Each structure stands twice: as C-alpha cells, then as structure tokens.
C-alpha cells in the first residue's frame, strides 16, 4: 500500500503544459478530475473467474475489412498509413503519449485498453453479459477508451491500475488519470481503495485537469 501511494504522490506534476499538436486532446471537456474521482464507487476487486477470452476482440463491427485494432491505428495516425489488402497498414506514424515516442511502423504499436480487460473484470465486468464485454473490448465510440502506444509501454503496464503504474512520461499522467476515470464512469466500474488514493493524489497534483466529456453510461 505504501509503495502504491508513494508512486502517485511522489510526482511533481502540475497540470500538463500546453499541448503540442501531437499531444492535444480534441474531445470536449467534462468535470474536474478531482471531482469525478470523488464520485466513483469504491469496492473490493474480484478477480475470480477472469479469462481474457471473456472479452471477444478484435472484431470488425462495421464489416469494412478493418478490425478494431486497425480502426484505432487509422484514427490515431499522425501521418496516415497506406491501407492494403485485408486492411494491412504500410507506412504512417503515430504518437505514443504514455512515453512521448513517435512510432513509424504499425507493428511497433499495441492498441491498449486504457482500463485493462482484467481491471474491468475486477471492477464489475464479471457481472456483465458476453455482449457487454465484447462491446467494452471494442469500444470505438470514445477516442480515449482505446489508445495506440508503444508495445514496451503497454506491456510494462499490463493489467495494473494507477496505484502501481502510471505513464513513464510524467507530463502525460494528468491526462492518463482523467481518461482512466472517464472510462470507469462511462462503464459504471468501481475503484478499489489503493486506486482511489492514487487517483485522489493525481487530482490534487493536476488541479486544472478535466475529464473528456463522458457520454451515455453503458
């Protein structure tokens, strides 16, 4: 517990500096991070029964030949890739905001569930239908639900929450906390005590950070 709190509170991160074109958030803004965190329900996590296959992905919901992963890569590209047969992507470039890296090949990227599948399960998805879990795993309705990042940063994160992992690029942590909280709100997921403490500390460190506007809750 002490280590988890230390990770969140040891940062000297004011609200992120003025964003560049690569880091700018283009979505509408919602409530302040600190206020939103205070509204999240707090509950113990439940990992029993979790299997990654319970969240079917990646699907091609609109049947255009590109699955969810490819749709995210196309949407988030700084320089658009060429799209070939079976939605193969060639060229292009992407900005990984977790670690402030530019990536010039699609295979160097993971498409991350910002709130990991296992974390979603622990926080309430264990009680969802299979269709709800599929929809969560492939949610393209909000741009902050799925994010293209370097494989290294995504795999260092794994299924951790902000109590034990935050982006290695410190100026990204305010945004990350806001988007994490927005996913939890949109999908009516709970937070555990350590997660609450870490997010509360981030809300204090990022006093001007607002959530992206959360649409209809799922």
Q: Which residues of 15-54 are buried (b: 16+ CB within 10 A; e: fewer)?
A: ebeeeeeebebeeeebbbbbebbeebeeeebeeeebeeeb
pLDDT band, very low/low/confident/very high, at 7 (cuts 50, 70, 90): very low
90 CB-near residues (< 8 Å, 6+ apart): 81, 82, 84
| pLDDT higher at 10 or 44 | 44
17-28 tens-digit pLDDT: 333 333 334 457
Provide the pLDDT for residue 216: 65
Provide the pLDDT for residue 93: 98
pLDDT band, very low/low/confident/very high, at 214 (cuts 50, 70, 90): confident
Q: Are 80 and 70 spatial neighbours (Cβ–Cβ below 8 Å)?
A: no
18 CB-near residues (< 8 Å, 6+ apart): none
Q: Beta-strand (E) ranges in 86-194?
A: 89-90, 94-96, 101-103, 109-113, 146-150
pLDDT at 10 over 70: no
């Amino acid at each position: 517990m002490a280590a988890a709190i230390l990770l969140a509170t040891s940062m000297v991160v004011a609200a992120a500096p003025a964003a560049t074109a690569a880091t700018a958030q283009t979505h509408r803004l919602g409530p302040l991070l600190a206020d939103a965190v205070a509204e999240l329900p707090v509950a113990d996590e439940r990992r029993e029964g979790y299997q990654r296959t319970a969240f079917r992905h990646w699907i091609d919901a609109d049947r255009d030949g590109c699955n969810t992963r490819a749709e995210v890569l196309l949407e988030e590209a700084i320089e658009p890739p060429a799209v070939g047969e079976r939605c193969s992507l060639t060229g292009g470039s992407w900005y990984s905001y977790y670690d402030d890296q530019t990536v010039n090949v699609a295979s160097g990227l993971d498409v991350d569930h910002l709130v990991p599948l296992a974390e979603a399960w622990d926080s309430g998805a264990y009680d969802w239908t299979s269709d709800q879990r599929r929809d969560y795993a492939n949610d393209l309705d909000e741009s902050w639900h799925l994010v293209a990042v370097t494989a290294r940063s995504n795999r260092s994160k794994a299924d951790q929450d902000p109590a034990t992992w935050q982006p290695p690029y410190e100026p990204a942590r305010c945004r990350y906390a806001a988007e994490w909280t927005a996913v939890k709100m949109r999908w009516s997921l709970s937070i555990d005590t350590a997660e609450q403490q870490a997010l509360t500390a981030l809300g204090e460190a990022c006093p001007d950070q607002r959530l992206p506007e959360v649409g209809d809750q799922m």
